[in-house]
Every structure is written in C-alpha cells, then in structure tokens.
Amino acid sequence: MTRQLDGVMLGSIELFCLAADLESFAAAARVAGLTPAAVSRAIGRLEARLQVRLFVRTTRQIRLTEGGRAYLAQCRAALNQLLEAERELTGTQAEPSGLVRISVPTTFGQHCLLPLLPAFRAQYPQIQIEVQLSNRNIDFVADGFDLAVRAREQADSSLIARHLMDGELVVVGSRSYLRKHGTPKTLADLDRQDCVQFILPSSGQRVPWAFKQGDEDVEVLTRGNLTCLDDILACVTLARAGGGLAQTYRFIVDEDIQQGRLVEVLKHHGGRTRPFSLMYLRDRYMPLRVRVFADHVVRSFAPTRPRR
C-alpha cells in the first residue's frame, strides 16, 4: 500500500530514499504519514527482494551499508528521471535545465566538441555541461555519464551510436626529421623510419597504421623508440619536435601542415578514416536537457559528413 506525499506516490523505493535522507525510520514514517513499523516492513521487503542489506540498524539510529549507498545513488537518479518525465509530459518544465555529463576523447574534445559549447550555452543557459576529456572506456551507469563520443566501430548492442564525422588519418613528420632520415616513398620505407608508437588504452596494444594500397585497406605495424600511452596528442607533440613520424587525424594537424610545422608524407597511401559517434544507452530514459544537447552536437557535424 502507498500513501500520497506532495503529489508523489510513495512506495518502498521512495520510502528507502526518505529513510536514508532522514537517517531514521521514525522520521520517515512521520513525513510519509505511516507508522515506523510500516516503514521498517517496506524496507525489509525491499532488502529481501534485492537480497542485499541496505541499512545497519541500532536502537538509536540507522546507517546505510556500502550496498545501500550505491543503491541510493541509483534510486535518486531514477526518481529524478521519472519526475523530469512527468514535468515534460505535463508541460511544467518550460526550459531544459540541469547537468549533462559527456565523456570525449582528448583529441576530438579539444578540436571538435569544446568549440561547440558556447553557442549551445547561449541557447540553453539553464543547462550545465560537464566534459570529461579521456580516452578510456566508460561505464555509463557506474560512471554517471549521459553521453560519450568514441572513435572506431562499436559492437555493444546496448548502445545507440549517432554518426558525427569520419576522421581522416595522415602521416606527418617535421622538416628537421625528414632532412635527417629521408622522406618515405613506400610503405616498406617505414621499416627504416622512427615511427612514434601509440598504445590503445582499451587493449594495451600498439595501434597499427592504416593505409590504402590501391583499392585495398592495409594496416602496418611500425617500429620506433618513442611510445605514448592514452593520448595521441603526445605523438603529435613528439613529431613536431622532430622525434619521428606519427599517424594521426587530419583535423589535429591541419594547421601545422598549413603553416609548415609538419609535412604530410605517403599521401598516395592516404584516405583511411575512422568514424566518430555520439553514444548513449539504448534503454535509458533521455531527459530533455540531454536530448537537446545530443541533437545540437549531431546537427553541428551534419554539414561535414561525406555523401554516401
């Protein structure tokens, strides 16, 4: 049985959150208009269903267990989503508001996403954006993210991927490096070059370089004495400093090429790309603030998409 509290139906989950906030079954019972025994029984049924102890009970107080704290965070997020859904349906939320959390690779974030945020904030001043620049894989639920941008194809069927752009790959080196080591003309020439190595965070493996060989896509494992982990921008910095050749995205080094700080090589083997997609959980309710932000990001990249 449930009771009405400020227009919200109180069930066992709501009573659990109320008791956790007030740190007392008796106090939760007074607010909900129930008896302390009824609240205790509701929490007991919830613990039995979950097979997890949520509270440590003493004669004077209650306190959350570690499992109870984790469950409380998830319950609050779910209840907030339900409340926001009701507001949207009833029209009581006139303007999107609240926090949107997004995880983005460092390269894409700095060069592509962050420049979009001022225009979005001007249109939606009540929405706050928190951006994590990171190349590690995230757990949307455990890490608390609404959205993520990731490169490469994704095989996770629990995620929806909305294509943003195809990042073209190029090989670059500094003029000083090329004067000393020569300019490679063929893919076989890479065996005699010092190629900056990048370790993919998700696998811990060297990333092979991607090329076109006629009509075929080929990948080459290069060799080099300098290795970078996690952030490919470090590879670009080493290439600028004359540390070797590096393969990276054109959008990162286009200005360097234009101004002569880096030279593109092996152009006739270029043309390979990797897709960047905006991702979110398939089965999670998407609040209005997240939806308008996701649509803004996808719309911002639409003109740059190649024709299919």
Q: What is the tens place of the pLDDT at every residue in 158-175?
A: 788 999 999 999 999 999
C-alpha dihedral over 34, 35, 41, 44, to 10 degrees? 80
81-85, 130-134, 139-143: which is most confident: 130-134
Q: Which fold has domain 3-90?
A: Arc Repressor Mutant, subunit A (1.10.10)
Answer whether residue 155 shows pLDDT above 70: no
In the chain, where the domains are located: 3-90, 98-165+275-304, 166-272
pTM over 0.75: no
What's the count of helices (H) and strands (E) in the chain, helices before strands?
A: 11, 15
Predicted local confidence at residue 303, as pLDDT? 64
- DSSP labels for 56-120? EE-SS-EEE-HHHHHHHHHHHHHHHHHHHHHHHHHT---S--EEEEEEE-HHHIIIIIGGGHHHH
Answer whether residue 10 shows pLDDT above 70: no
Strands 159-173 and 209-213, by their bridges, are unpaired
Answer whether residue 219 shows pLDDT above 70: yes
Q: How far, rounded to the nearest angstrom, does the alpha carbon of residue 3 sit from its chain's CA centroid?
A: 39
Task: Note the CATH number of domain 166-272.
Answer: 3.40.190.10
Please give the share of the chain, as a percent, with pLDDT higher than 70. 88
Structure tokens at 167: 């990042």
Query: Matching CATH topology for 98-165+275-304 and 166-272?
Result: yes
Q: How far apart are CA 235 and CA 150, in angstroms?
A: 19
Closest CA to 20 of 79, 74, 58, 68: 68
Answer whether residue 89 shows pLDDT above 90: no
CATH 3.30.465.10 is the classification of domain 98-165+275-304 = no
* Average pLDDT value for residue range 173-199: 95
